[in-house]
Structure 1
Amino acid sequence: MASATTIGKDSAHDHESDSGHDRENTPAPSEGGGGGGGGDETQPGPFSLKRKKAHPCDKCDKSFHFPARLIEHKNLHTGKTPFKCTIENCDEAFPTSDQLRTHAQRHLLRFRCEICHKRFQTESIRRTHMLTHSTVRPFACEDPECDKKFKTARALEKHADVHRPEEPQVCDVAGCDRSFKRKDGLQRHKRNEHGIRFKKRRSARKEDGPGFEDANVVAQ
């Protein structure tokens, strides 16, 4: 039986070799639609849009494009669990690599919202998220003529732009003269039009602290 490491390598190789060469090595189906098991009515050829699943399971009616996928699938029938979680103090193991990947997300997103059950990487991000379930708006605009309040410091910061003197945000990409009132508008333009990526800002910051206590009351 192939080891978990071997399975992983085979799977990666099979995905990379999804080409016409594979199609040439795929045995042609018999006239009766025989042992392929995929239920494909079209016969594979050089211009076929749908490849025949040439690797059928001998325990059920499922078929697969790649032998490594079939090997993993057979683990469901035999009960073998070669895909082991490598996180410290976790002894979970799974029959397929897909199930292991799904499980791994629970380690990365350990903090769960008790209301909508979404998961987050850190407690501070979860607490910021909790404000979306709350009617409390602890972040008030400092402009004396504005009575708007917001759930997060980031939303307040974004709103504050409307009170600042207009300073056009000009695109600095060569040959582009577009300008925007807001920085986020300029960034969106650069991302969509010029393919420039920006680092994501953290959802939760230290100054977000006050107001979380109110949000936690709602979650109880």
Structure 2
Amino acid sequence: KFCNETSDEVDRREHPNKHFICSFADCKATFSKLWKLEAHYSRHTGLKPFACGDCEKSFCTRYQLTRHHLSHSGEKPYLCSVSGCSDAFSTPGSLRNHAAHVHHQKENSYVCNHQGCGKEFRKKKQLKFHICEHTNELPFECDFEGCNDKFASSKALKRHWKMHKGYPCDEEYCNFKGKTWSEYQKHKKTAHRVTLPCDQCKKMFHNAWFLQKHKQSVHSGERRMFKCIREGCEKSYTTNFNLQNHILVFHEGKHDFACPFAGCGKAFAMEESLKRHFVVHKPQKTKLQVNLCDGCSMCFLIHYILEMLL
């Protein structure tokens, strides 16, 4: 019945809810949403094709770019529903965190009523799988030779199957097989690391995105400038963030974001500036450190990115 089907048609039949298929050779990844496929392509290319028109940032998906635009527009469409609270947020995730930490609200949860358990789950399906642990009814059994493991869901069984199948290296004459996707990726980066030379200098890169940014910032000869539009002001900046900060501080006199640490007293016009300032008070608890470029006003959260672009 299906003898004349193409590989794409077979994939659609076996995965009816996943219509977006990766077009790269030897990649069988399928996705139910377009933005997931776009994010997946970045694994193959190393590029972030969705660039912001107001600053120099780039993103893997349109969704990430759209969410980023809110940081420039200042739009905060997600309002807190608690009576007396006028806070608003740019993303639903920020609103949920606000409700949980400030108002101590919990999302609707499903509670296990098994004696002595009481565990809570955000999804009914999660509770259903959890109950199998109490009843010992695990309907999905692995049929791999010598393996009799059982699982509560087909998804868990599928993940388990990958342990048997593994992730073989696709490089010629390489017999490596990773037990996990992370182990496979680590092998690729260490054993078969790609080297991309800059055609205008002697710099070498291991990522196409870093090479592209290096050429833009060092060899293009052009630096995008954001000029202040206020009358009589001739200030200009290399990033839109610095321009917006200039307008708020020097033209509008705003310092709405005050440091909560006792005895500090500093205040900032932008929330991001306040977050960067926290490094001063708790450097040991800050995983990401802001690094400033000496040649411009750009900021980098990871120091080696700054070094590679210079």
TM-score (norm 1): 0.32
In our comparison, the structure showing a higher alpha carbon Rg is 1
Q: Which has the higher contact order (CA 8 A, sep 6+)?
A: 1
